[in-house]
Structure 1
């Protein structure tokens, strides 16, 4: 059974002043996420990594660099999904040559396939690789949501090993209740992470773990060790950060807030690529006070 751990970080892509990938900052960030923030796996070039504005060449460079720099200290999951099935297969096959441990494939966005189309999309991608596949259902970004029935049907495919679920706790509950043994469900929403664990999710694919991963690990371990009150108190302490990285106080596009927070810790300059914008001065003040 493939196990990517309880806490994965959906890693940012640091940029330099020329709006190119900052490789020095990326190396230091990988070390920081593994050694300090206790990430067991890193998702590279997912949504938080600004995949919509990265070229295929940049993505493959990030995959290769991350694998080499992590050097077996954590698993590397490559974000190779898109809303074009053939392109997703191509990028998955290219990524597989670089030593990655698995791929994250998002539900197709914008073209709004029906459930049969979603099923075929994931099925043919899984058939085109021997790598473990984690599905990613995020209807807030894709509009179309993968149903429980479709998820469970896809879970029967041997190398589809899990799903990152952002639809609802109700959907997490239903998937966990009926999924085959070994199929792992991850919460894709930090603020729902502990509730998801409580209904049977395996772990969390997190944004906040960039900055409070060690504390999140403590929360997860407390819950799994049978100390739910302690876990709840840790969750309550972290909750303002979970919410504040996405709302400051108005909705702030991910990863603008977390990139700014990391820049204050010396990891990159906080730049995001258009059409995203960095936080305003007022938003920066709000983010700063989250960590006081």
Structure 2
């Protein structure tokens, strides 16, 4: 079984002033996330990577580039899920040829399948690859929620090895209570990641780890080693940033805030692709204060 570690960063996709992928910044960002922020795996072209506005060609080039540049220093997880099963299978097969270590498959959005349809969707994609699959349940974005029951049914498929869970702490608890040995749960919400770990999650797939990954690494490993008080203290210190990167003074869509935060540290220009927009002046000041 591939070990993706406990701290995984859902990596942004840096753009240049021509709205194209900035490969120089991408290379430096991968180094920074591995070496300074202690990311054990990187999700490439997930939600934080602005997957809805990347072409298939851009996604495949990002997968290829990340695998080559990481050079085994961390695991590379390719975001190949969509609301089109055939297209997801196609992209999964193409990504599998490039040396990625695993796949992240989001719950289909917009077309609102029922639980039976969700099961068949993920089963079909998993059957098309030998790579380990991480499910991604984020009902705040997809509307449809992958139930704990369906998640546990999918966990019986040999190469479906984990889930990124954003529904609720209750759902994390239910999945943890019934999961087969080796099936891992990752919190997909920074603000509730610590709570999720206390009820059975293995780790966090994070946005905030772009800027406080070292602290998050310390928090997780303090808890795992039995120092619950220290882990709780770190979580308390980080909570304003966890919440602020999504709230700002007004709600700001991911990854606008974290891209601006990275920009202030010399990693890219902070640009996002429409229909997303960057932070206002007031939001930029708020983010700077958080940091």
Shorter chain as denominator, the TM-score bin is over 0.9
Equivalents in 2 of 1:278, 1:179: separation in Å? 40
Cα deviation digits, residues 192-233 of structure 1 (max 9, x gap): 111011001100000000000000001011101111111111
Cα deviation digits, residues 111-141 of structure 1 (max 9, x gap): 0000000000000000010000000000000
| Structure 1 counterpart of 2:273 | 273
Name structure 2 gaps, 5 residues minimum.
none
SS in 1 for 2:205: strand
| Structure 1 counterpart of 2:263 | 263
Shift of 1:249: 1.8
Cα deviation digits, residues 35-63 of structure 1 (max 9, x gap): 00000000000000000000000000000
Cα deviation digits, residues 245-275 of structure 1 (max 9, x gap): 1001221100000000000111110000000
Equivalents in 1 of 2:188, 2:274: separation in Å? 24
8 A contact 2:37–2:210 mirrored in 1: yes
Equivalents in 2 of 1:11, 1:153: separation in Å? 29
| Structure 2 counterpart of 1:118 | 118
TM-score by length of 1: 0.99
Equivalent pairs, count = 291
| Structure 2 counterpart of 1:88 | 88
| Structure 1 counterpart of 2:108 | 108
The farther-off stretch of 242-251 and 52-61 is 242-251
SS in 2 for 1:16: coil
| Structure 2 counterpart of 1:181 | 181
SS in 2 for 1:262: helix
SS in 2 for 1:245: helix
Q: How does 1:55-70 map to 2 (within 5 A)?
A: 55-70=55-70
SS in 2 for 1:19: coil
| Structure 2 counterpart of 1:51 | 51
Equivalents in 2 of 1:279, 1:94: separation in Å? 35
Structure 1 position 32 matched with structure 2 position 32? yes
Q: How does 1:121-136 map to 2 (within 5 A)?
A: 121-136=121-136
| Structure 2 counterpart of 1:21 | 21
Shift of 1:3: 1.5
| Structure 2 counterpart of 1:159 | 159
Equivalents in 1 of 2:179, 2:95: separation in Å? 28
8 A contact 2:67–2:99 mirrored in 1: yes
8 A contact 2:249–2:282 mirrored in 1: no
RMSD across aligned positions (CA): 0.4
Shift of 1:85: 0.2
Equivalents in 2 of 1:2, 1:22: separation in Å? 29
Shift of 1:2: 2.5
Equivalents in 1 of 2:163, 2:221: separation in Å? 21
Equivalents in 2 of 1:212, 1:47: separation in Å? 19
Q: How does 1:184-263 map to 2 (within 5 A)?
A: 184-263=184-263
Cα deviation digits, residues 165-207 of structure 1 (max 9, x gap): 0000000000011000000000000011110110011000000
Which structure 1 residue ranges, 4+ long, deviate > 6 Å from structure 2?
Answer: none
SS in 2 for 1:211: helix
